[in-house]
A and B are shown apart, each in its own frame.
Chain A
Protein backbone atom coordinates (compact mmCIF):
# COMPACT_ATOMS: atom_id res chain seq x y z
CA UNK A 1 0.00 0.00 0.00
CA UNK A 2 1.11 3.56 -0.65
CA UNK A 3 2.12 5.48 2.41
CA UNK A 4 4.91 6.57 4.66
CA UNK A 5 6.70 4.03 6.82
CA UNK A 6 9.01 4.61 9.76
CA UNK A 7 11.27 2.04 11.36
CA UNK A 8 11.83 0.98 14.00
CA UNK A 9 8.68 1.82 15.91
CA UNK A 10 10.53 1.63 19.23
CA UNK A 11 14.25 1.90 19.97
CA UNK A 12 16.28 1.89 23.15
CA UNK A 13 19.95 2.79 23.02
CA UNK A 14 22.72 4.17 25.18
CA UNK A 15 24.32 7.57 25.42
CA UNK A 16 27.09 8.02 22.87
CA UNK A 17 25.80 5.41 20.43
CA UNK A 18 24.95 6.16 16.85
CA UNK A 19 21.36 5.45 15.84
CA UNK A 20 19.56 5.83 12.54
CA UNK A 21 15.83 6.21 12.13
CA UNK A 22 14.44 5.21 8.76
CA UNK A 23 11.68 6.81 6.73
CA UNK A 24 10.30 5.56 3.43
CA UNK A 25 7.45 6.99 1.34
CA UNK A 26 5.79 5.58 -1.75
CA UNK A 27 3.99 8.69 -3.02
CA UNK A 28 7.04 10.18 -4.77
CA UNK A 29 6.50 13.37 -2.78
CA UNK A 30 9.35 15.78 -3.31
CA UNK A 31 9.30 17.16 0.23
CA UNK A 32 10.13 15.22 3.35
CA UNK A 33 10.44 16.34 6.96
CA UNK A 34 11.62 15.15 10.35
CA UNK A 35 9.97 16.34 13.57
CA UNK A 36 10.45 15.50 17.20
CA UNK A 37 7.60 15.50 19.71
CA UNK A 38 8.23 16.24 23.37
CA UNK A 39 5.80 16.88 26.20
CA UNK A 40 5.17 20.60 26.50
CA UNK A 41 6.65 21.40 23.10
CA UNK A 42 4.34 19.92 20.50
CA UNK A 43 6.18 18.92 17.33
CA UNK A 44 9.33 20.73 16.26
CA UNK A 45 11.01 20.59 12.86
CA UNK A 46 14.50 19.06 12.84
CA UNK A 47 15.38 18.91 9.14
CA UNK A 48 13.59 18.91 5.83
CA UNK A 49 14.39 18.04 2.25
CA UNK A 50 13.09 19.57 -0.97
CA UNK A 51 14.37 16.76 -3.21
CA UNK A 52 17.09 14.15 -3.41
CA UNK A 53 20.41 15.62 -2.30
CA UNK A 54 18.77 18.84 -1.04
CA UNK A 55 18.36 19.21 2.71
CA UNK A 56 18.01 22.12 5.09
CA UNK A 57 17.86 22.80 8.81
CA UNK A 58 14.71 23.31 10.77
CA UNK A 59 14.19 24.67 14.26
CA UNK A 60 16.19 22.09 16.25
CA UNK A 61 18.89 20.52 14.01
CA UNK A 62 21.78 20.24 16.48
CA UNK A 63 22.96 16.68 17.06
CA UNK A 64 21.22 15.29 13.98
CA UNK A 65 22.36 14.41 10.47
CA UNK A 66 20.16 13.66 7.46
CA UNK A 67 20.72 12.44 3.95
CA UNK A 68 18.52 11.89 0.94
CA UNK A 69 20.15 9.96 -1.87
CA UNK A 70 16.79 8.70 -3.16
CA UNK A 71 13.48 10.53 -3.32
CA UNK A 72 11.67 7.87 -1.30
CA UNK A 73 14.06 7.62 1.65
CA UNK A 74 15.01 10.18 4.27
CA UNK A 75 16.98 8.68 7.17
CA UNK A 76 17.74 10.62 10.34
CA UNK A 77 20.96 9.85 12.22
CA UNK A 78 21.95 10.71 15.76
CA UNK A 79 25.72 10.42 15.53
CA UNK A 80 26.30 10.40 19.31
CA UNK A 81 23.00 10.07 21.13
CA UNK A 82 22.32 12.12 24.26
CA UNK A 83 19.54 11.75 26.82
CA UNK A 84 18.02 15.03 25.68
CA UNK A 85 17.30 13.35 22.35
CA UNK A 86 14.87 10.94 23.99
CA UNK A 87 11.67 11.73 22.13
CA UNK A 88 9.11 10.56 19.62
CA UNK A 89 10.27 11.20 16.06
CA UNK A 90 7.91 11.71 13.15
CA UNK A 91 8.69 11.68 9.47
CA UNK A 92 6.34 13.41 7.04
CA UNK A 93 6.07 14.10 3.33
CA UNK A 94 4.14 16.47 1.11
CA UNK A 95 3.86 17.71 -2.43
CA UNK A 96 5.20 21.11 -3.23
CA UNK A 97 6.97 23.82 -1.33
CA UNK A 98 5.27 26.16 1.12
CA UNK A 99 1.92 24.85 -0.01
CA UNK A 100 -1.51 24.06 1.33
CA UNK A 101 -0.95 20.40 0.58
CA UNK A 102 -1.13 18.51 3.85
CA UNK A 103 1.87 16.75 5.25
CA UNK A 104 1.34 13.03 5.63
CA UNK A 105 2.93 11.59 8.74
CA UNK A 106 4.40 8.23 9.57
CA UNK A 107 3.43 6.47 12.79
CA UNK A 108 6.47 7.73 14.66
CA UNK A 109 9.50 6.17 16.36
CA UNK A 110 9.72 6.29 20.14
CA UNK A 111 13.43 6.61 20.95
CA UNK A 112 14.73 6.19 24.49
CA UNK A 113 18.35 6.98 25.31
CA UNK A 114 19.64 5.60 28.58
Chain B
Protein backbone atom coordinates (compact mmCIF):
# COMPACT_ATOMS: atom_id res chain seq x y z
CA UNK B 1 0.00 0.00 0.00
CA UNK B 2 1.10 3.52 -0.68
CA UNK B 3 1.75 6.06 2.04
CA UNK B 4 2.03 9.83 1.88
CA UNK B 5 3.88 11.83 4.51
CA UNK B 6 3.67 15.54 5.16
CA UNK B 7 6.22 16.26 7.84
CA UNK B 8 5.20 19.87 8.54
CA UNK B 9 1.96 20.07 10.54
CA UNK B 10 2.07 23.86 10.34
CA UNK B 11 3.95 26.50 8.35
CA UNK B 12 3.92 30.27 8.59
CA UNK B 13 4.99 32.78 5.95
CA UNK B 14 4.88 36.54 5.53
CA UNK B 15 2.56 37.90 2.89
CA UNK B 16 4.33 38.26 -0.49
CA UNK B 17 7.05 35.81 0.51
CA UNK B 18 7.65 32.30 -0.84
CA UNK B 19 6.94 29.11 1.07
CA UNK B 20 7.59 25.45 0.30
CA UNK B 21 5.46 22.62 1.66
CA UNK B 22 7.03 19.18 1.80
CA UNK B 23 5.57 15.83 0.77
CA UNK B 24 7.16 12.43 0.46
CA UNK B 25 5.51 9.20 -0.54
CA UNK B 26 6.26 5.53 -0.61
CA UNK B 27 5.24 3.28 -3.48
CA UNK B 28 6.48 0.33 -5.47
CA UNK B 29 4.67 1.49 -8.58
CA UNK B 30 6.41 3.20 -11.46
CA UNK B 31 3.41 5.06 -12.82
CA UNK B 32 1.15 7.22 -10.69
CA UNK B 33 -0.23 10.70 -10.22
CA UNK B 34 0.37 13.26 -7.51
CA UNK B 35 -1.87 16.12 -6.45
CA UNK B 36 -1.94 19.05 -4.06
CA UNK B 37 -5.33 20.02 -2.67
CA UNK B 38 -6.18 23.13 -0.67
CA UNK B 39 -8.82 23.11 2.06
CA UNK B 40 -9.80 26.58 3.35
CA UNK B 41 -11.93 26.99 6.50
CA UNK B 42 -15.03 26.59 4.30
CA UNK B 43 -14.08 22.89 4.13
CA UNK B 44 -14.05 22.74 0.32
CA UNK B 45 -11.36 20.59 -1.28
CA UNK B 46 -9.81 22.56 -4.12
CA UNK B 47 -7.31 21.13 -6.58
CA UNK B 48 -4.17 23.26 -6.68
CA UNK B 49 -1.86 21.35 -8.99
CA UNK B 50 -1.21 17.85 -10.36
CA UNK B 51 1.79 15.95 -11.68
CA UNK B 52 2.07 12.81 -13.76
CA UNK B 53 4.97 10.59 -12.64
CA UNK B 54 6.04 9.89 -16.21
CA UNK B 55 6.60 13.60 -16.86
CA UNK B 56 10.00 14.96 -15.89
CA UNK B 57 8.91 18.56 -16.21
CA UNK B 58 7.61 20.07 -12.98
CA UNK B 59 4.01 21.29 -13.10
CA UNK B 60 3.25 24.99 -12.68
CA UNK B 61 -0.03 26.83 -12.13
CA UNK B 62 0.43 30.58 -11.82
CA UNK B 63 2.02 31.18 -8.38
CA UNK B 64 2.06 27.47 -7.54
CA UNK B 65 4.76 25.09 -8.70
CA UNK B 66 6.06 21.71 -7.66
CA UNK B 67 9.47 20.16 -7.28
CA UNK B 68 8.97 16.53 -8.28
CA UNK B 69 11.89 14.25 -7.51
CA UNK B 70 10.83 10.77 -8.59
CA UNK B 71 13.91 8.92 -7.39
CA UNK B 72 13.65 10.54 -3.97
CA UNK B 73 9.84 10.11 -3.94
CA UNK B 74 9.43 13.75 -3.09
CA UNK B 75 6.74 16.17 -4.26
CA UNK B 76 7.01 19.61 -2.67
CA UNK B 77 4.73 22.57 -3.36
CA UNK B 78 6.13 26.07 -3.73
CA UNK B 79 3.83 29.05 -3.32
CA UNK B 80 5.30 32.31 -4.57
CA UNK B 81 4.11 35.80 -3.61
CA UNK B 82 1.94 34.39 -0.81
CA UNK B 83 -1.46 36.00 -0.39
CA UNK B 84 -3.86 36.07 2.54
CA UNK B 85 -6.24 33.89 0.53
CA UNK B 86 -3.63 31.13 0.45
CA UNK B 87 -4.18 30.45 4.15
CA UNK B 88 -5.59 26.91 4.37
CA UNK B 89 -4.81 23.27 4.99
CA UNK B 90 -2.82 21.76 2.14
CA UNK B 91 -2.97 18.07 1.38
CA UNK B 92 -0.64 16.06 -0.78
CA UNK B 93 -2.30 13.08 -2.45
CA UNK B 94 -1.27 10.04 -4.48
CA UNK B 95 -3.30 8.11 -7.03
CA UNK B 96 -2.18 4.84 -8.56
CA UNK B 97 -2.12 4.51 -12.34
CA UNK B 98 -3.26 0.94 -11.80
CA UNK B 99 -0.14 -0.83 -13.08
CA UNK B 100 1.17 -3.36 -12.46
CA UNK B 101 -0.63 -4.38 -9.29
CA UNK B 102 -4.01 -2.77 -9.88
CA UNK B 103 -5.49 -2.32 -6.48
CA UNK B 104 -7.96 0.12 -5.08
CA UNK B 105 -8.59 3.34 -6.90
CA UNK B 106 -8.97 6.58 -5.00
CA UNK B 107 -6.56 9.04 -3.47
CA UNK B 108 -4.15 8.40 -0.63
CA UNK B 109 -3.72 11.60 1.35
CA UNK B 110 -1.09 12.93 3.68
CA UNK B 111 -2.18 14.36 7.03
CA UNK B 112 -1.95 17.92 5.80
CA UNK B 113 -0.01 21.10 6.48
CA UNK B 114 -1.72 24.12 7.97
CA UNK B 115 -0.43 27.21 6.18
CA UNK B 116 -0.64 30.54 8.00
CA UNK B 117 -0.09 33.80 6.13
CA UNK B 118 1.19 36.67 8.28
CA UNK B 119 0.08 40.12 7.02
Could you tell me which A residues sit within 8 Å of B by CB distance?
Answer: 31, 33, 35, 40-45, 48, 50, 56-59, 88, 90, 92, 97-100, 102-103, 105, 107-108
Which A residues lie within 8 Å of B109 (CB)?
35, 42-44
Residue of B nearest to A38 (CB): B111
Which A residues lie within 8 Å of B47 (CB)?
102
Which A residues lie within 8 Å of B68 (CB)?
none
Inter-chain contact total with CB atoms closer than 8 Å: 63
Assuming A42-B4, A99-B33, what are 4 further A-B pairs, CB within 8 angstroms? Answer: A42-B111, A48-B104, A57-B104, A107-B44
Asked if residues A31 and B50 are in contact (CB atoms below 8 Å), the reply is no
Residue of A nearest to B106 (CB): A45
**Chain B interfacial residues counted at CB < 8 A:** 25
Among A31, A42, A88, A103, contact of B43 (Cβ-Cβ < 8 Å): A88
Stretch at the interface among B13-21, B74-82, B92-100: B92-100
A interface secondary structure, majority? strand
Residue of B nearest to A109 (CB): B43
Could you tell me which B residues sit within 8 Å of A by CB distance?
Answer: 4, 33, 35, 42-45, 47, 50, 52, 91, 95-99, 104-112
Which B residues lie within 8 Å of A100 (CB)?
33, 50, 52, 95
B interface secondary structure, majority? loop
Residue of B nearest to A56 (CB): B104
Asked if residues A105 and B97 are in contact (CB atoms below 8 Å), the reply is no
Q: How far is the CA of A105 from the CA of B37 in the complex (A)?
A: 10
B42 to chain A, nearest CB (A): 8
Residue of B nearest to A110 (CB): B43
Residue of A nearest to B107 (CB): A103
Which A residues lie within 8 Å of B98 (CB)?
97-98
A39 to chain B, nearest CB (A): 9
Q: How far is the CA of A90 from the CA of B105 in the complex (A)?
A: 16
Among B42, B52, B99, B106, contact of A58 (Cβ-Cβ < 8 Å): B106
